[in-house]
Amino acid sequence: MNDDYLWDKSGEPDPQIQELEDILGALRYQPRPLKLDGSLSARWRNYVALLAIAATVAVALLAGSVWLNIRSEEPSIPAVAYVAPAPPIPGLPLSVSTPLVPKRRPLIRVKHDDQEALAAKQQLMFALRIASEKLNTAYRRTQTPSQIKNQHKAG
């Protein structure tokens, strides 16, 4: 068998290789010219890409508007209920019938603000734990007597 024939088709071919080439010849690569026409499938692919971009922008705008609406929305149920004072009873002094209690503003808490406050508190506590550990380590290192090891006399 001639190895040169396998690489550059020079030399005499081996009969078994020649037979194998004839059998597999139908599966050989056959170059075809490139077709660049404005077919319907190419135009359809362009529209699909544009529709995907438009849908992504629409979903992003919708999600942003919902997020802003939820952030600015106040709870519909007040946190503190007010009761109208009873009408004064005739014959009783004013101070007994209507107590002079200043009106309080209702306490309105938004869940989002509570979550942010909780997250900030957790971050602060984590930072304080780290700082405490660092200070404890530094304190322990300064309080232990320093021992110089592996020092030899220069001689």
Question: Is residue 118, in this structure, part of any structural domain at all?
Answer: yes
Q: Which of 2, 34, 32, 37 is nearest to 17 (CA)?
A: 2
For the question of whether the overall pTM of this predicted structure is more than 0.75, the answer is no
Which residue segment(s) compose the domain that 115 sits in?
110-141
CA-to-CA distance for 115 and 76, rounded, in angstroms?
19
Give me the chain's average pLDDT, please: 76
CA-to-CA distance for 72 and 120, rounded, in angstroms?
20
Q: Indicate the number of domains in the chain.
A: 1
**DSSP letter (8 states) at residue 26:** G
Q: Residue 24 has which token pair? A: 């597999």
Do 14 and 1 touch, CB atoms closer than 8 A?
yes
Rg (CA), the chain: 43
Q: Quick one: average pLDDT of 125-133? A: 92
Confidence (pLDDT) at 82: 60
pLDDT digits (tens, 9 = 90+) for 20-63: 888 998 888 888 887 766 566 666 777 888 899 999 999 999 99
Question: Is residue 1, in this structure, part of any structural domain at all?
Answer: no
DSSP-derived 3-state class of residue 140: helix
- What are the E-state strand segments in the chain? none
Question: Is residue 119, in this structure, part of any structural domain at all?
Answer: yes
CA-to-CA distance for 124 and 119, rounded, in angstroms?
9
Question: Is residue 59, in this structure, part of any structural domain at all?
Answer: no
Do 2 and 13 touch, CB atoms closer than 8 A?
yes
Question: Is residue 131, in this structure, part of any structural domain at all?
Answer: yes
Q: How many CA atoms lie within 13 A of 72 on its CB side?
A: 6
